[in-house]
A and B are shown apart, each in its own frame.
Chain A
Amino acid sequence: MKSNVFVSRLALGIYLLIFFGYLLGPLLIMSLTAFNSNAFPSVSPWACFTFEWFQVLFHDERILNSIKNSVIIGIGTVILSVAMGLAASLVLTQVWAKWRSTYYTIIIAPILIPGVVLGISTVVFWDRLSRILGPASDALFHNGIFLTVLGQSTFIASYAMLVFVARLQRYDPGLTEAALDLGATHTQAFRKILLPFMRPAIASASVLAFLASFENYNTTTFTFGRYPTLTIELAQKVRYGINPSISALAFIIVVLTVFGAIALEAWRRNKLKALAVKEGTAPVGRSILPGFLRGNWAAVVLVLMSFAVITVFWAGQSYSPAQCKQRVLELKQAETQRRIQELQLQRQIKRQADALKGPDIFGPSSQSGTGTAGDNPFGGVFNPGNLEGQSGTGTGPTEQPKPEEEPKAAPKPSPFGGVFDPGNLDDVGGN
């Protein structure tokens, strides 16, 4: 019985481990790559711990500019979609019950339409409109920020509306009537009664809208014009080869998110505690912690995290991985050297084997052993020379093969089986 419980606990533990690993693993790995000095985002081989990618990030004009664009577009989208979503949700509560579900379907449709279609249709629509209205409207209607805000808002407003509808369902329209009855105008009733009630929903809809806008790619890719957003810029970067400064950016975003979540939790707990104190149900006890941290683990974590971030930042100012990098560089050069030698050896062996073979008994295959890259059936892709050039990125001039060098290590098994066994070779060489 007891062991059964243990087994199921264990299974649950393992399941959770896998689940969270699946969920958070990629983020963790990505964050780690931001601190590895390797030029390509990677964790292993681990070269040097470094902050240089953050430097690279902060000096990358295009990334910084795209973040700025994303923020501007995000804010624009928040304003537009919250306003549209709120209006749409209010109309939903007002429309005739008979039409409500039809209206709802229409309003919700943009969520179901692919973002690509929304992007294209936005561009096409405003392009047409600017043609009708003449060149005066051109500057605005072809402006990437304008188009992107509009394009994204078409479906983000629907998300916002869903949030508002959920909140409005708990609203007592009698409150608005009470306000009117007490002499408020409709505007006053809206501003003083309904809007404060909707405030939490407005806050969450804003966050939702901003995040949805920030991460949007499908729609934006058609509308951004001369104002690429972060997602667009990242996608372009990936196309031309990336470096870990993107991981650094991801790491910053992850940290900010966690920070935000914990701050929210700390604030929530603080409020709960205040309520408990007010009702006299708060546990009384002595603690070394200051008041706002007591019984609020989130606040404690928040403070610890702030410390950690400040420490790391401070350390980043003085820490220099130069020495380590130098060592890694040396190691790498040695490694390259070794590889080159290996290849040279292999080539030499082959040449000798060819010579030994004499008349061409293998037909065309013997051609490949002649060492000329040009007539290789693989078009030189596997040419050792190419390989050297690649693996030696930034490791200095590639050395030319030196035929007189002696073999160092045993070559790998050759596709020709034992015919070209190095053992045979020695005998031949002795001839």
Chain B
Amino acid sequence: MADGVGVDLDNVWIRFGDFVAVREANVHINGGDFFSFLGPSGCGKTTILRAISGFLDPSEGRVLIGGNDMAGIGPNKRPTALIFQNLALFPLMKIWENITFSMEVKGASTAERRKRADELLDMIALEGQGDKLPSELSGGQKQRVAIARALCAEPDVLLLDEPLSALDLKLRQHMRTELREIQQRVGITFIYITHDQGEALTMSDNVAVMRAGIIDQIGTGHDVYDRPATAFVASFVGENNVFRGKIQEIQGNEALMQSNRSGLLRATITPSAVGELKVGDDAMMFIRPEALALANGDSHDKARISAKVLSEEFEGNSYSVYLEGDGGKEMKMSMPNLGQDPEASRGQDLTLSYDVGNAMVMPAGELASE
């Protein structure tokens, strides 16, 4: 898929007055990739997208599309199409007119436009609805019209700004797979913005995780989930149990951390922090709920934590068990639902074990606020 048009952000800064919305962004997006920007609300995702599509100029740095510097090129001259956060369908135009607006402004005939609109309506499974107005469609249908309208412009890069955020869960999941399918069919670069980490992980080839204008990590879904570069990424992407403490000992890529509440914990140093993390540094260790298990006889090679069961939640395919560690530290652990009765263990002291390879330790940093 390397034949698509790539996008590069080269040391991009974007300021609004004194406020820095995007700080030193360096991103390389491969042509034909499904690339996501993931981050909490207000971290500057839309701002980056607007800089790529040409609605605002970076205060510093360059935006390159297909290797060409886009400075001074307006949004109507860039090979991008943006699907707006609120869709921005033209309320007074019929669906088919909406979809083929990009052809209209190039002077295409009505017959041509009708034909193309019918093709695209077929693709988004809205055959025969071209003569409706946007207000007469459901949320999911509008969504698809917005996608068709953007695709009709035949962009090299499609930019999507949280297009699924207004939909209910079921429809959102459906649209995720549909978007992914469309992307694979048309083979163009998709740059997708979301604050939903599940969305980013399921759809993307690569993900950039942002925090307050700063890009913390760029990598595949596995990278950011399994080997988070910063405490923020670790706490923002998926669920994680965090332990704070000081590094006591370092052996290769493993470290022993004296935690504030749960004693000595052994963990793997996250790749980006190897060599950086020193003995005596403030550190944070993260372990995913699904990486914790009940200790049994054959787990001598694993690290251990003891904790008391507080409560549990049934989640269908699994249970979430909430525990209290030694120093009153709260933890969450997830257990597959195999027919056991976890209520029986409420109030019991348990010994939990985990694989050192699954626990990540890194310099202490800001956590994502829940």
A interface list, Cβ under 8 A from B: 172, 174-175, 177-185, 188, 192-193, 196-197
Flag if A180 contacts B88 (CB, 8 Å): no
- Other-chain contact of A196, B76, B92, B101, B153 (Cβ < 8 Å): B92
- Measured CA separation A177–B81 after assembly (Å): 11
Flag if B80 contacts A181 (CB, 8 Å): yes
Flag if B84 contacts A178 (CB, 8 Å): yes
Flag if A174 contacts B76 (CB, 8 Å): no
Flag if B76 contacts A183 (CB, 8 Å): yes
Closest CB in chain A relative to B355 CB, distance in Å: 48
Flag if A183 contacts B55 (CB, 8 Å): no
Closest CB in chain A relative to B155 CB, distance in Å: 9
Secondary structure at the B interface, as helix, strand, loop or mixed, is mixed
| A-chain residues with CB within 8 Å of residue B88 when the two chains form the complex | 172, 174-175, 177-178
- Other-chain contact of A181, B75, B91, B104 (Cβ < 8 Å): B75
- Measured CA separation A172–B105 after assembly (Å): 20
Closest CB in chain A relative to B138 CB, distance in Å: 15
A192/B86 contact (C-beta < 8 A), A181-B53, A181-B75, A182-B153 known? no
Closest CB in chain B relative to A37 CB, distance in Å: 54
- Measured CA separation A267–B105 after assembly (Å): 33
Flag if B76 contacts A185 (CB, 8 Å): yes
| B-chain residues with CB within 8 Å of residue A179 when the two chains form the complex | 90, 101, 105
In which size bucket is the chain B interface? 20 to 34
Q: Which 4 A-B pairs have the closest CB atoms?
A: A178-B88, A182-B102, A174-B88, A184-B105
Flag if B92 contacts A182 (CB, 8 Å): no
- Measured CA separation A183–B150 after assembly (Å): 11
Flag if B81 contacts A192 (CB, 8 Å): no
CB contacts between A and B, total, < 8 Å: 58
Closest A residue to B159 by beta carbon equals A181
Flag if B92 contacts A181 (CB, 8 Å): no
| B-chain residues with CB within 8 Å of residue A197 when the two chains form the complex | 91-92
A182/B74 contact (C-beta < 8 A), A175-B90, A177-B55, A197-B92 known? no
- Measured CA separation A68–B336 after assembly (Å): 88
| B-chain residues with CB within 8 Å of residue A182 when the two chains form the complex | 76, 81, 101-102, 105, 149-150, 153
Closest A residue to B153 by beta carbon equals A182
Flag if A174 contacts B84 (CB, 8 Å): yes
Flag if B105 contacts A177 (CB, 8 Å): no
| B-chain residues with CB within 8 Å of residue A185 when the two chains form the complex | 76, 105
Closest CB in chain B relative to A38 CB, distance in Å: 55
Flag if B90 contacts A181 (CB, 8 Å): no
| A-chain residues with CB within 8 Å of residue B75 when the two chains form the complex | 177, 180-181
Is residue B106 contacting chain A, with contact meaning CB distance below 8 A?
yes
Is residue B323 contacting chain A, with contact meaning CB distance below 8 A?
no
Is residue B82 contacting chain A, with contact meaning CB distance below 8 A?
yes
Flag if A188 contacts B86 (CB, 8 Å): no
Question: Which chain B residues in 40-88 approach chain A with CB under 8 Å?
Answer: 53, 55, 74-76, 80-82, 84, 86, 88
Flag if A181 contacts B105 (CB, 8 Å): no
- Measured CA separation A172–B55 after assembly (Å): 15
Flag if A172 contacts B86 (CB, 8 Å): yes
Residues 131-150 of chain B: 1 if any A CB is under 8 Å from the residue's CB, otherwise 0?
00000000000000000011
